């Protein structure tokens, strides 16, 4: 291991856990002076100390790696690339130094820019349409995404509690039909909840009425979908105090953000009940993270299985750190969960060369892609479409592409690496974070010029790239 100085990252970790240097030293069985020297970059981080930290605090070793800063770096690049507030190009090495040595300042800049954009959009909306709803464009989904990202998409206490309850209900061992019946009976016996099947056509999928203790489920739901929605409401009832405690850790800026986070955490618990961590992790490792196989074993849909795979970050029993995304044909990214540092910019959409968009050409088929990002890192991505059932003839259907990606160094643990030469850089498809942020100069698919470079047009000269 080369000498690695991680003072700012260790200091960040200590402050997040509200520990003094002396308390951190005692926890790691080190001397206070030794911890002080690491924090001030006088001494490098050694392998034994790194292992102690990862086991004690449940953080991945990449927390101390420059690669783990990729998401923050991409967000900061968006900030300095905003032509409305900055006209001078900023060197990427300077941004990297800022992110690594002063991550708190970098996050503050990103947050200020986010609030600036929010206010700018609200003013624009008010001017254009005279609409003054304070909740418009508050973007609570981004707050919730960051809430899960800060926790590596894993909630340890709730995951364990949900796992225990799920095992009691047969999750991970019994057929999904039996699990669905067990959850239904548990809701009735322990919480006085009755299940009703509805067939109204107004788009309602499920609705729990706390006053009457009636949970309505639409007739078109599959057994797995019924079980998942029942498990979600069971999480609200069974883990109310634990849910509140987790949500109090975050200072959400709006009630909408808090409510969306609450629903997201309850859905997380539902997945942990139906796919208990240890069984799900074991099956995933044994069968190469084969989503189709896991879907058959646990009786749940492709999207639900792929989403659960992105949460396997339990200390001492970690799975592959996946990034999970869901996009539509227009490139709108409605879900984004990550246990790693990969980040796609919100500016200018995503890359048209990404395999997710190819998935729409052959619905239901799993596509694979070995990609190289502009920073030189390699990933393996899989993509497949999923269809949400139409409630009736004439209703608008929903089709999404589900993507699951990991760094190439983890890919050989999956069935999806078979037949791919992930060691050949020439075999990788060069993609970017979206045209406006991408630094690739010779991409034939570029739709917009990069905001990081000066646009120079020669009317008497043309190239294969439009800009």
Residue 157 pairs with which residues in a beta bridge? Answer: none
Q: What's the pLDDT at 444? A: 82
- Please list, residue by residue across 208-217, b when 16 or more beta carbons sit within 10 angstroms of its beta carbon and e when fewer do: beeeeeebbb
Mention every residue, 6+ apart, whose C-beta is less than 8 A from residue 158.
Answer: 239, 242, 243, 246, 265, 268, 269, 272
Question: Tell me: the pLDDT tens digits for 4-58?
Answer: 667 777 887 787 777 888 988 898 889 988 888 888 878 888 888 888 887 787 7
| Paired strand residues for 208 | 215
CA distances (Å), 165 to each of 71, 183, 317, 443, in order? 35, 10, 19, 51
Per-residue pLDDT at 425: 87
207: Cα separation from own chain's centroid: 26
Q: Where in the chain is the domain with CATH 1.10.260.40?
A: 7-64
Average pLDDT over residues 286-305: 96
Domain with CATH 3.30.450 in the chain: 323-430
Residue 127, pLDDT > 60, answer no
Within 10 A of 441 (CB to CB), how many other CB atoms are there?
11
Please report the pLDDT score of residue 133 as a whole number: 45
E strand spans, 87-230: 194-198, 206-209, 214-218
CA dist., res. 350 & res. 465, Å (int): 18
From first CA to last CA, the distance across the chain in angstroms is 42
Q: Which among 274, 205, 202 is positioned nearest to 234, based on CA atoms?
A: 274
User: Residue 20 in contact with residue 26, Cβ under 8 Å?
Assistant: no
| pLDDT reported for residue 131 | 42
Q: What is the pLDDT of residue 416?
A: 97
Residue 461 pLDDT exceeds 70: yes
Sheet holding 206-209, edge to edge: 194-198, 214-218, 206-209
Share of the chain above pLDDT 70, in %: 86
Q: Identify which has the larger pLDDT, 245 or 115.
A: 245
Q: How confident is the model at residue 347 (pLDDT cuts 50, 70, 90)?
A: very low
CA 365 to CA 383: how far, in whole Å?
Answer: 8
Q: Give which of 222, 190, 212, 206 is closest to 295, Cα–Cα.
A: 222
Q: Which residues contact 455 (CB under 8 A, 6 or more apart)?
A: 449, 467
Residue 132 is predicted with a pLDDT of 42
Predicted local confidence at residue 349, as pLDDT:
57
Hey, which residues does 336 pair with through a beta bridge? 325
For 207, phi then psi, to 5°, come to: -155, 120
As a whole number, mean pLDDT of residues 214-223 equals 93
Do 356 and 383 meet the contact criterion of CB atoms below 8 Å apart? yes
At 278 the pLDDT is 97
Q: What HEC string does 124-143 produce?
A: HHHHHHCCCCCCCCCCHHHH
Pick the CATH number of 323-430 from 2.30.29, 3.10.110, 3.30.450, 3.40.30: 3.30.450
Q: Mean pLDDT for the chain?
A: 84
Looking at CATH, the fold of the domain delimited by 7-64 is given as 434 Repressor (Amino-terminal Domain) (1.10.260)
Least trusted range by pLDDT, from 129-138, 228-237, 328-337: 129-138
Alpha helices by DSSP H, listed for 312-447, are 355-358
Are the C-beta atoms of residues 389 and 220 closer than 8 Å to each other? yes
Q: Write the pLDDT tens digit of every residue in 364-393.
A: 999 999 999 877 889 999 999 998 766 566
pLDDT of residue 135: 44
Q: Per-residue pLDDT tens for 56-114?
A: 877 666 666 655 566 777 778 878 877 667 767 777 678 877 887 788 888 888 888 87
- pLDDT single digits (tens) 261-294: 999 999 999 999 999 999 999 999 999 999 999 9
Check residue 362 and give its pLDDT. 94
Under 8 Å between Cβ of 36 and 68 = no
pLDDT at 85: 75
CA-based radius of gyration for the chain = 24
**What is the DSSP-derived secondary structure letter of residue 87?**
-
Q: Encode burial over 357-376: b for 16+ CB neighbours within 10 A, e otherwise.
A: bebbeeeeebbbbbbbbeee
Q: What is the pLDDT of residues 425-448, one digit of tens each?
A: 888 999 887 777 777 877 888 877
342 or 192: which leads in pLDDT:
192
Contact 341, 63 (CB under 8 A): no
pTM equals 0.75
pLDDT at 281: 97
Residue 86, Cβ neighbours under 10 Å: how many?
Answer: 13
> Helix-strand-coil percent breakdown of the chain, rounded to 5?
45, 10, 40
């Amino acid at each position: 291991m080369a000498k690695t100085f991680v003072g700012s990252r260790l200091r960040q970790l200590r402050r997040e856990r509200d520990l003094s240097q002396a308390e951190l030293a005692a926890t790691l069985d080190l001397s206070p002076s030794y911890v002080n020297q690491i924090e001030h970059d006088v001494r490098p981080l050694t392998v034994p100390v790194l292992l102690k930290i990862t086991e004690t605090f449940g953080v991945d070793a990449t927390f101390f790696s420059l690669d783990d800063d990729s998401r923050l770096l991409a967000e900061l690049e968006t900030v300095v690339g905003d032509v409305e507030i900055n006209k001078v190009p900023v060197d990427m090495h300077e941004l990297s130094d800022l992110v690594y040595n002063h991550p708190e300042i970098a996050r503050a800049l990103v947050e200020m820019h986010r609030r600036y954009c929010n206010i700018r959009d609200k003013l624009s909306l008010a001017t254009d349409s005279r609409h003054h709803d304070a909740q418009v464009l508050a973007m609570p989904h981004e707050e919730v995404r960051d809430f899960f990202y800060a926790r590596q998409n894993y909630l340890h206490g709730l995951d364990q509690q949900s796992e225990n309850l799920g095992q009691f209900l047969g999750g991970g061992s019994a057929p999904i039909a039996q699990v669905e019946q067990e959850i239904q009976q548990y809701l009735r016996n322990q919480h006085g909840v009755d299940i009703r099947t509805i067939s109204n056509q107004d788009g309602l999928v499920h609705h729990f009425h706390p006053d009457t203790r009636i949970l309505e489920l639409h007739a078109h739901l599959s057994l797995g979908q019924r079980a998942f929605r029942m498990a979600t409401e069971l999480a609200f009832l069974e883990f109310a105090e634990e849910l509140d405690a987790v949500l109090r850790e975050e200072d959400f800026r709006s009630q909408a953000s808090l409510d969306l986070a609450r629903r997201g955490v309850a859905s997380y618990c539902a997945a942990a009940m139906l796919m208990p961590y240890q069984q799900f992790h074991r099956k995933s490792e044994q069968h190469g993270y084969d989503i189709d196989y896991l879907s058959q074993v646990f009786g749940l849909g492709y999207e639900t299985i792929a989403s659960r795979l992105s949460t396997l970050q339990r200390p001492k029993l970690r799975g592959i750190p996946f990034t999970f995304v869901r996009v539509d044909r227009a490139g709108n990214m409605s879900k984004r969960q990550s246990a790693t540092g990969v980040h796609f910019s919100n500016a200018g959409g995503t890359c048209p060369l990404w395999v997710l968009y190819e998935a729409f050409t052959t619905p239901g088929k799993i596509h694979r892609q070995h990609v190289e990002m502009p920073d030189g890192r390699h990933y393996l991505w899989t993509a497949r479409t999923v269809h949400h059932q139409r409630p009736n003839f004439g209703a608008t259907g929903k089709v999404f592409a589900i993507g699951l990606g990991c760094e190439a160094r983890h890919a050989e643990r999956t069935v999806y690496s078979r037949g791919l030469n992930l060691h050949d850089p020439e075999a990788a498809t060069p993609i970017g974070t979206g045209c406006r942020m991408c630094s690739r100069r010779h991409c034939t698919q570029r739709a917009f010029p990069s905001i990081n470079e000066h646009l120079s047009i020669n009317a008497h000269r043309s190239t294969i790239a439009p800009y």
